Amino acid sequence: MNILLISPKYDATIVAPHLGLGYLSSSLKKQGHKVKILDGTREEIKYNPEDWELVGVTAMSTYFPEACKDIERAKSYGLKTIIGGAHIICDPEQSLIDSQADYAAIGEGERTMSQLASGLDPSSVEGLVYWKDGKPKRSNANVKNLIETKKMYTTKIGDQARDFQIDIDDFGEPDWDSIDPASYPKKMPHGMIYKSLPLAPIITTRGCPYSCIYCSAPITAGKRMRYRDPIKVVDGIEMLIKKYGVKEIQIEDDNFTLKRKHVIAVCEEIIKRKIKIDWCLPNGVRIDKLDPEMLRLMKKSGCYQMSLGIESANQRILDMIKKRLNKDLVRNVVNEVKKAGIQAVGFFIVGFPTETKKEIKETIDFACSLNLDRANFTKATPLPGTELYDMWISLYGKDKNIDWKSFSMEQFSADWAECSAKDIARLQTWGFIKFYLTKFRFLKLLFSLRTHQLITFLKRILRIVFSTNLYNRFINKKALNFKFINPVSRKTTK
């Protein structure tokens, strides 16, 4: 079959190879299908419809509207369509309705896509939602056998069961030819700062067992940690260096340091093979899963930067968001990271329901006082499927249009804390200003940026400083005006 995979063109300030589509492409190619990836952050989404039979589109919530446009276009050519990715996993039935795609993928797409492409009837394809009598219907594929033989595990997400493959090494390497790191524009990689290009993201694990109320990683990747074999991880790194000239690796795992043994094994293997590679952890690691000995080994193997999920300086908030973190640990761990010679980036979230101005200021002051190189202050955003989303729906959901584009953690706006949405936005901006004006951090940041990054950097600052509406009206003129109706009252007919 001829399959086109699309990551939509959207207003991206961070650009990175799309691992998800890379994994899908590799599993489809293994079956002999012809596959092409078009990534809107890299190229125009232009194609000859006659070349393709099935179009798969990926979406996070923030660019779900653009994904819907790509589905609409493919359907207008008479092509079969399937939509997948983080947004869809969190609400598959509603995503099928909103996008009007022919199919939606409930979870990891490798098996789903392969089975669909092999011509199986949709009702027997694992992890698929399809249309039946004008309504979304879940396939009834039976993976009982695979669960008994411990190839899959089932987990309950909300009130729905999802199946995940246990041995993720079975997926092999992503199709790097189609997402060659060197083919991506040198805009802003994840975390903004990098040492050398080309840079490749990899994942060494999938899943996260925690239940932080704002995070959808345990929903998209499952609650059970699934590990790649550290030897295969390092084989992959060597291959990226030799075949694709990669000079830096970004480990994008949700919880890379959860199992110490895994981290040690990956680092020791890099050291043993004398691989010279800079690597970093831009996606955040848990403060309580780091220790001095492990940090030293990470540094020795090439780790130069890591983001730390600190979120709040207030224990009440940390407990409310189910972070399971003791605030008292933070300062010492940040110091240990720095002592190991690794740059430390702090992640902070402001504006949770019930949070007061005083508590937000406490977080900002705490961030400034830590030995951090950089900090990111984002707004509490109710990502679909999370407990925070349920809170938001119960407060505002009824009869309200959902503008998914505004679900970015930089721009989200809700009057649900003990201070107004405007106050949250001001405090977020104040957090950045105060942090970067302390200890000459702004100068250090400016000097660590490359000249080609300055415009994107400025755009990011403007996006944070101005409110969503102002930004979209005057700066992001290309923004799509895609309106959705409230999920509770949306129609369920095709």
Where do contacts with ligand B12 occur on this chain (CB under 6 A)?
Answer: 12-14, 16, 18-20, 23-24, 56-58, 60-63, 82-87, 89-90, 105, 108-110, 112-113, 190, 201, 203, 215-217, 220-221, 252, 254, 283, 383-384, 408-410
Closest CA to 24 of 101, 93, 83: 83
Least separation in angstroms between CB 463 and ligand SF4: 23
Least separation in angstroms between CB 250 and ligand B12: 8
DSSP at 269: H
Closest CA to 30 of 137, 153, 113, 142: 113
Nearer to ligand SF4, 222 or 236 (CB): 222
Any idea what the Cα angle at residue 200 is, between residues 302 and 86, rounded to 5°?
A: 120
**Taking CB within 5 to 8 Å according to partner kind, which of ligand B12, ligand SF4, none is near residue 281?**
none
Nearer to ligand SF4, 111 or 190 (CB): 190
**Taking CB within 5 to 8 Å according to partner kind, which of ligand B12, ligand SF4, none is near residue 12?**
ligand B12
Least separation in angstroms between CB 255 and ligand SF4: 5
Least separation in angstroms between CB 204 and ligand SF4: 14
Nearer to ligand B12, 181 or 201 (CB): 201
Cis peptide before 198 (omega within 30 of 0): yes
Question: 10 Å Cβ neighbour count for 13?
Answer: 15
Least separation in angstroms between CB 354 and ligand SF4: 19
**Taking CB within 5 to 8 Å according to partner kind, which of ligand SF4, ligand B12, none is near residue 298?**
none
Q: What gap in Å lies between CA 104 and CA 122, rounded to an integer?
A: 11
Nearer to ligand SF4, 179 or 383 (CB): 383
**Taking CB within 5 to 8 Å according to partner kind, which of ligand B12, ligand SF4, none is near residue 220?**
ligand B12
Q: What gap in Å lies between CA 11 and CA 411, rounded to an integer?
A: 13
Residue pair 349/378 in contact by the 8 Å Cβ criterion: yes
Any idea what the Cα angle at residue 457 is, between residues 456 and 459, rounded to 5°?
A: 65
Least separation in angstroms between CB 108 and ligand B12: 4
Task: Please give the backbone phi and psi of residue 143, each rounded to the nearest 5 degrees, phi first.
Answer: -105, 20
Least separation in angstroms between CB 289 and ligand B12: 16
Cross-sheet strand order for the sheet of 248-251: 199-202, 248-251, 278-286, 303-311, 343-350, 374-379
Nearer to ligand SF4, 115 or 255 (CB): 255
Q: What gap in Å lies between CA 421 and CA 401, rounded to an integer?
A: 18
Beta-carbon contacts of residue 7 (< 8 Å; ≥ 6 apart):
18, 21, 37, 38, 39, 40, 41, 57, 58
Any idea what the Cα angle at residue 218 is, between residues 214 and 222, rounded to 5°?
A: 165
**Taking CB within 5 to 8 Å according to partner kind, which of ligand B12, ligand SF4, none is near residue 210?**
ligand SF4
Nearer to ligand SF4, 5 or 334 (CB): 334
Least separation in angstroms between CB 113 and ligand B12: 5
Least separation in angstroms between CB 217 and ligand SF4: 4
Task: Please give the backbone phi and psi of residue 302, each rounded to the nearest 5 degrees, phi first.
Answer: 120, 0
**Taking CB within 5 to 8 Å according to partner kind, which of ligand SF4, ligand B12, none is near residue 110?**
ligand B12
Any idea what the Cα angle at residue 272 is, between residues 268 and 273, rounded to 5°?
A: 120
Which two three-digit tokens encode residue 198?
């080309």
What is the contact surface with ligand SF4 in residues (CB under 6 A)? Answer: 208, 210, 212, 215, 217-218, 254-255, 286, 309
Nearer to ligand B12, 60 or 340 (CB): 60
Any idea what the Cα angle at residue 416 is, between residues 411 and 421, rounded to 5°?
A: 40
Nearer to ligand SF4, 201 or 218 (CB): 218
**Taking CB within 5 to 8 Å according to partner kind, which of ligand SF4, ligand B12, none is near residue 99?**
none
Nearer to ligand B12, 358 or 450 (CB): 450
